[in-house]
Amino acid sequence: MNGVPEELFAAARAWLAQDPDPQTRDELSHLIAQAQADDATAASELLDRFSHRLAFGTAGLRGALGAGPNRMNRVLVAQAAAGLAAYLRERSTPGETPVVVVGYDGRRNSDVFARDSAEIFAGAGLHAVLLPRMLPTPVLAFAVRHLGAAAGVMVTASHNPPQDNGYKVYLGGADDGAQIVSPADAEIAAHIQAVADRGDIGTIPRSVGYANAAEEVVDAYVAATAAVAPATAGAAGLKWVYTAMHGVGWETLRAILATAGYPEPTVVAEQIEPDGAFPTVAFPNPEEPGAMDLAFETARAVGAELVLANDPDADRMAVAIPDASADGGWRRLSGNEVGLLLGRRAARAAAGVPGASLACSLVSSPGLQAIAERYGLDFHATLTGFKWISRAPGMVYGFEEALGYLVNPGTVRDKDGISAVVALLDLAAQARAEGSDLQGRLDDLREEFGAFASDQISIRVADVSQIAGMMASLRADPPSHVGGSAVSRIDDLLTGVDDLPPGDVLRVWLDDGARLIVRPSGTEPKLKMYLDVHGSSDQEARERLAALADGARALLAERR
């Protein structure tokens, strides 16, 4: 039957028998019937859903909603919750009852997956705590530490497409509320697989005896985040625009603004309330073209000085400033530009503190190292992701170029787009008080440290195996030149470099000081290339970056 083996049909029927969700049961029943009737499209879909399983790793789980082990659904989430519970019980000391806190955002089924998880954790004898309503990811990360939890689960797919959802895991104790890393991911995955192999989630014990977190948890996060940067005189009268990108950031941010003393923004009304359908954007990611168009339209209408945006779970922040030369009069700052602005803010505050360090992912701007050195701080480059950045020794500030910033590591050990908003408002207020603005602060950075310019090239693929093929080709036949410059060295992080954990990353150094980094995306079917140059002026840096980008595109075209 269209190449679908009978054992796969048997697996689909077994999945159907244990699925508690009427919607995915109907979906799968129809798919099985169509595939048995020799519908080629249905057969292909069935193969995709049952020939593979969403892998549980350091990013947890993330994928499209739907029936089957290669989709996000109630069966998969139940298996994940039961596996995590078994892992936590295994790690606990005799007589200990581990605490697990669960949060969720406004995506489709996030609340359902969260309640299922809380019931399964409680059924496993853990003390399960469910956050009181849909809330930002940083609130969940905060709650893990605040409640002294052994683990936390956030149901979110962050800025992924609307059809996706995900399951992100944090660990307490020695991990201090950070996201999981190896070997915990593999150990949890083994427990999840053992649950899946038993074959019926209906046998997993459940209990409604979980606790609902008190509002005090949210209040404590609000107070701690407002304390990041209470408003100064320059904040009075600041005109700014904010969008939540159909996510859950606004309610919490609004309370923090009131506590810290900042003026409320003009909000993008069409995007301010949570809506898992994300009706005004194709991709609910501030980095994507068009995602901030409504924010710019609002800013033009009110004569704003600044636009700030959170992604749907509010762990990232985007910044835009007026720019007469830009299309529409507004320019979104790159993650590196914002990262360096906030990095210098942190460096000034930490100067002279023994052991204090700045940290960023190795694909982020090398300008942060220059700032750390200027202010006498240590510096750490880590693998991509805040699961690594948050573990940098002595870290007082960390960032990654993909709009992630950690400005308050004493409160949250993960990127936090809400505290980043507060820190950015503080920068804007200080600049206003001195008769300047954020563009002026960027000019100050260039004068002090030179012009750092960065770019990113992404290749989206339909088949993720293409990414592995391109990486293998670059390793087997490494380039000798990129963009007219000779390659001086290539670091292959699979073998371990500079005390970094192994990773599927190639770092290419050119003899003119430029840098090119190639790696697969951790959350999307993309191959990413990161380009960095340093020049004495903006014009020189732009010219060098353009040449490097042309060379990088040509290199990718050869390997596809």
Given phi > 0 = left and psi -120 to 50 = alpha, else beta, which region is 241?
A: beta
Compute how many other C-beta atoms are within 10 angstroms of the C-beta atom of residue 266: 17
Cα 450 versus chain centre, distance: 29
Provide the residue type at 4 as one letter.
Answer: V
What is the H or E stretch that residue 253 is in? Answer: helix 249-260
Q: Catalytic residue numbers? A: 158
Q: Phi, psi (5° rounding) for residue 200?
A: -145, 110
Are 356 and 350 within 8 A, CB to CB? Answer: yes
Q: Of 56, 165, 150, which is closest to residue 109 (Cα–Cα)?
A: 165
Provide the residue type at 446 as one letter.
Answer: R
Pairing of strands 240-243, 306-310: parallel
Q: Positive or negative CA dihedral for 260, 266, 269, 270?
A: negative
d(CA 330, CA 292): 10
Compute how many other C-beta atoms are within 10 angstroms of the C-beta atom of residue 99: 21
Cα 77 versus chain centre, distance: 20
The residue with tokens 């936090």 is: 416
The residue with tokens 């496993």 is: 124
The residue with tokens 């292959």 is: 492
Q: Within the chain, what is the greatest distance between any pair of CA atoms?
A: 73
Angle between helices 367-374 and 438-449 (to 10 degrees): 80
Q: Phi, psi (5° rounding) for residue 555?
A: -65, -45
Per DSSP, helices labelled H in 199-248 are: 215-226
Provide the residue type at 253 as one letter.
Answer: L
From first CA to last CA, the distance across the chain in angstroms is: 33
How far is CA 6 from each of CA 36, 43, 68, 75, 199, rounded to the nearest angstrom?
10, 12, 16, 22, 18
